[in-house]
Structure 1
Amino acid sequence: MQNSKASLIEKYNIPAPRYTSYPTVPLWANDLKQQNWTSFVKQAFDDFGEKEGVTLYIHLPYCESLCTYCGCNKRITKNHKVETPYIESIILEWKKYLEIFEGIPKLAGIHLGGGTPTFFSADSLKEMLGFILKHAQVMDNAEFSFEGHPNNTTREHLQTLYDLGFRRVSYGIQDFDPLVQKTIHRIQPFERVKEATEVAREIGYTSINFDLIYGLPHQSLETITDTFEKVSLLKPDRIAYYSYAHLPSVFKAQRSFEEFLPNEQQKRSFYEKGKEILSEMGYFEIGMDHFSLEKDPLYQAKTQRGLHRNFMGYTTSPSKILLGLGNSSISDVYYAYAQNDKNIESYKAQINDFGIAIQKGHIMSEEDLQTRDLILKLICNHKADWNAEFYQGLEAKHLSKLRQFQAEGLLEYDGKGIKIKAEGIPFIRIICMTFDKRMQAKEEMQYGFSKAI
């Protein structure tokens, strides 16, 4: 018998990974050494580089002020003298990868994240990207994007990056309510967001994304509705509507507003309200937390089952090589994962000495590869086929969970595959955990995941 949505939310609103990777980072085996990493990078480049290219994620960690809700790796400073030595480290790291490739890489994409990428001046970004592009071949369908703070993304930033090939910008909006903005220390008036959006379109950007968050302090159905009414006036091409991840034990600044947070039922009602308004505005749900207009390439990829996912989110690029440059950035070369040292000074010192600054990593087993393939298909397409051997290999506890989800109306499955129903999409992280054998093997440990709903 199917349960009510409210009872299911209460039942399944437990800590769960977001599955931007499998295994998820806290469950990496940490069996990767620098020598192994370079060999895996070379193997991936030889196997996939020519056809699929290389995607770069560049982490730019500096911010001028602290947003108290934020869970990113960042450094707060108003000293812009830090730009040059950090850019020099990024360039040295890229030089090291060029040595490993032993060939000119094809670039399938670049994404600038942070921190606040637009903390860096347009000239600093041009110096860094100019060197990278000078030593690479840009693929015809490459996608270059960056995260911009509406308060400091200038026309010069937008024009400089556009001239370098960037066509997508993502603005971190979070919420338009003044009290919410004040509480989370992210004050950006609607008029400033409007200006940043219009200037980007005037220059020629073809895709604009807004990041919004539900579950923030002082939010209500009224403030959520008002935020979306303002968003509708600007009509971005994509919207990411994230659940606020409250982890005060990790991010101490979040303690400052704990008493003003909504309860679990209220938080879920904010998502349902936002999703309802987005549908009325003409947006389609792409995957976990993501929506786009019908004309957007993400929607087209979704309908054609060509959607992909990596540490940066949903993408149309099938590239199996994602290299992370900068402190704390994560790389995925299909056969292995690696994460750079999170500390900026340590990262720069290691790059200067070795050209690589890996802090931890994970070598994929054959079972890992199969599980990742299944989970990514579920997260991207809400369905996955499996062969008889895989189905017969499911343990009794896995089948029991699947029968339970099916009885609750969340999914359908048989010997040929699995399909998540519309009612099951909000619980997709919980469903994916069914196949997470690495987590099940260490289920007594706590990893600091945010709640699933």
Structure 2
Amino acid sequence: MKTNSGIALQELVRKYNVAAPRYTSYPTVPFWDNEQFSVQGWKQSVYHTYQKSKDSGISLYIHLPFCESLCTYCGCNTRITKNHKVELPYIDSLLKEWGMYTAILKEGAPLISEIHLGGGTPTFFAPEHLTKLIKGILAHAQIADDASFSFEAHPGNTTYEHLDVLYQLGFRRLSLGIQDFDPLVQFTINRRQDVADVRRVMQEARSIGYTSINFDLIYGLPKQNLKTITETINESLILNPDRISFYSYAHVPWIKPGQRHYTELDLPQGEEKLALYTRGKKLIQEAGYLDVGMDHFAKPDDELFIAFQEKRLHRNFMGYADRYRPLLIGLGVSSISDSWNGFAQNVKRVEEYQQMLDQGQLPVVKGHLLDAEDVIIRRHILDLMCKGETKLTNGFLGNETILEKLQEMIDEGVVRIEVDQVIITSLGKSFLRNVCMAFDLRLQKSKSEMQLFSQAI
């Protein structure tokens, strides 16, 4: 198959199937300058950003890492345990950390625009413990009129009580981790739930009053093929979620040893993996869902698609959002906070996290304060990821390396330039991460020989 530029699609797949960031931040975590970072500088950045943007409120991400069993495909920071006595001590630690941030803000009750519970498995926690957590957070905050509260749910352990309690606390959106419905794929990745589990949770959530349900699906998992991906997508479409996130599986066994439960021979790769995405995307779009950014699809009346249309879509460590808030505070192990001009990541081990908080220390282990060049490039990459285009005149550096890479992509039909706009073509959407890499000067300057990211395709 040849593209409009006359280049075989297979050639582009081979060329661009390289290790590539997902660009939930710029600079990406491996290229943070930790030597120039200090916790005191981070605190100042948080304070100044909030003072400039307090009327728009804070986005709050809370990481709940516990799971009862390991899903071997998972790249998240998790703690596997069946001991539910860990719940309350961890919640106490989260509330201590939140108290430290409210002290930094010097506000008795900062405005919260967004809360997202991620994991791990947030529904590992008992409903009464989630109540303690959210009420503890909100006891020292105001809620914005247009606030959006969401959580990630495992269909196999999410109860009616979970749904009801979180709804009463203000949650209206949930994301269900489906990944794949095929029994062999589920067995291989140690992820077990069936269609009945998902249907039950959806019916209960709708009856309670939830207004938005997202499905997380993954292509490129071990043992997947065109038949299984087609069946999973069709089954998902019958269930009729409001949004679908259709992610590429990130194979990083050197970071996540659980992924060594299977081998590369079990994985669809290159053109075969791209065919899975192409088939899935076609089925999703034929069902009336519209393309939003990278890997996301939503119904035409969904807030995410409306934000995309109105060019106010945002992307951060929580993924795509229908709003931009300059200050994102991450609570919990491994959480990343973002003040637009800086990033900070918490320690990854639960015991170390709790020990630092008990000693009165903010549990930050590393971070990065952006320089002027970083801010310019960050804006270009964010515009490409959220709008599919960027203006060269917006602080463009005139870097010859960037211009050379863009010219290659113009010749290949991946991007086009109209006046001062770099625009991703329909072909280029499959190589969006690669286009962003053309602007990533920190990656290009790196002399690291380690593979730091998963493959782009």
Choose the corresponding residue for 2:175, options 170, 173, 176: 170
Residues 138-177 of structure 1 mapped to structure 2, 5 A cutoff: 138-177=143-182
Q: For residue 312 of structure 1, what is the aligned residue in structure 2?
A: 318
1:339 aligned partner, one-letter code: Q
- 1:389 and 1:110 mapped to 2: Cα distance? 32
Report matched runs for 1:24-423 at 5 Å.
Answer: 24-30=28-34, 31-50=36-55, 52-103=56-107, 104-258=109-263, 259-387=265-393, 390=396, 393-413=397-417, 416-423=420-427
Q: Which amino acid aligns with 1:63?
A: C
Contact persistence 1:2–1:407 (CA under 8 A): no
Q: Is the contact between residue 386 and residue 415 of structure 1 (CA under 8 Å) also seen in structure 2? A: no
Instruction: For 2:83, give the aligned amino acid.
Output: N
Using the alignment, how far apart are the partners of 1:396 and 1:337 within structure 2? 28
Distance 2:301 2:223 in 1: 34
Question: Alpha-carbon deviation of 1:81?
Answer: 0.2
Contact residue 307 and residue 314 of structure 1 kept, 8 A: yes
SS of alignment partner, residue 171 of structure 1: strand
SS in 2 for 1:418: strand
Shift of 1:355: 4.4
Mapped partners of 1:14, 1:25: distance in 2: 18
Paired with 2:270 and 2:451, the residues of 1 have a C-alpha distance of 21
Which whole-Å CA distance do the structure 1 matches of 2:171 and 2:451 have between them?
36
Partners of 2:242 and 2:302 within 8 A in 1: yes
Q: Residue deviations 1:306-339, cap 9 Å, x none?
A: 1111100111111010000001000001121000
* Cα separation, 1, equivalents of 2:406 and 2:141: 46
CA distance in 2, matches of 1:380, 1:389: 18
CA contact (8 A) 1:388 1:415 kept: no
Cα displacement (A) at 1:414: 5.4
State the distance in 2 between where 1:238 and 1:297 align: 10
Output the aligned Cα RMSD: 1.2
SS at match of 1:59: strand
- Amino acid across the alignment from 1:260: D
Q: 1:182 to 1:43 in 2, by over 3 A?
A: same
Instruction: Quote how far apart the aligned CAs of 1:435 are.
Output: 0.9
- Structure 1 contact 341–359 (Cα < 8 Å) conserved: yes
Question: Aligned partners of 2:394 and 2:207: how far apart in 1?
Answer: 54
Structure 1's unaligned 5+ residue stretches are: none
In 1, Cα distance between equivalents of 2:395 and 2:453: 32
The alpha-carbon deviation at position 445 of structure 1 amounts to 3.7
Is residue 55–residue 109 contact of structure 1 (8 Å, CA) maintained in 2?
A: yes
CA contact (8 A) 2:416 2:423 kept: yes
Contact map agreement 1:32 1:363 (CA 8 A) in 2: yes
Distance 2:111 2:394 in 1: 38
Report how far residue 39 of structure 1 moved.
1.1
Deviations 1:170-206 (A, max 9, x none): 0000000011111110010110111011111111110
Number of aligned residues: 450
Q: CA deviation at 1:396?
A: 2.3
Shift of 1:236: 0.3
SS in 2 for 1:232: helix
Query: Per-residue deviation at 1:229?
Result: 1.4
The question of whether the paired residues in 2 share the 8 Å contact of 1:321 and 1:332 is answered with yes
The residue identity in structure 1 corresponding to 2:241 is P
- Structure 2 residues not aligned, in runs of 5+: none
AA aligned opposite 1:79: N
How far did 1:386 drift? Answer: 2.8
- Partner amino acid for 1:175? D
Q: What's the CA shift for 1:444?
A: 3.6
- The separation in 2 between residues aligned to 1:422 and 1:362, in whole angstroms, is 34
Cα distance in 2 between the residues matched to 1:376 and 1:244:
22
> What CA distance in whole angstroms lies between the structure 2 residues aligned with 1:434 and 1:382?
14
Tell me if the contact between 2:68 and 2:82 (Cα under 8 Å) persists in the aligned partners: yes
CA distance in 2, matches of 1:85, 1:445: 41
Q: Is the 8 A contact 2:307 2:323 kept in 1?
A: no
- Kindly indicate whether residue 25 of structure 2 is the aligned counterpart of residue 21 of structure 1: yes
Q: For 1:1-20, what aligned pairs fall within 5 Å after superposition?
A: 1-20=5-24
For normalisation by structure 2, the TM-score amounts to 0.96
In 1, Cα distance between equivalents of 2:127 and 2:448: 48
**Structure 2: how far apart are the matches of 1:28 and 1:415?**
33
Q: Which residue of 2 aligns with 1:442?
A: 446
How far is 1:443 from its partner? 4.0
* Cα distance between partner residues in 2 of 1:338 and 1:324: 9
Q: Deviations over 1:418-449 (max 9, x none)?
A: 11111101111111111111111114442520
**Compared with structure 1, are the counterparts of its residues 155 and 389 closer, same or farther at alpha carbon in structure 2 (3 Å cutoff)?**
closer
Contact (CA 8 Å) 1:294, 1:300: kept in 2 or not? yes
Contact 1:45 1:321 in 2 (8 A): yes
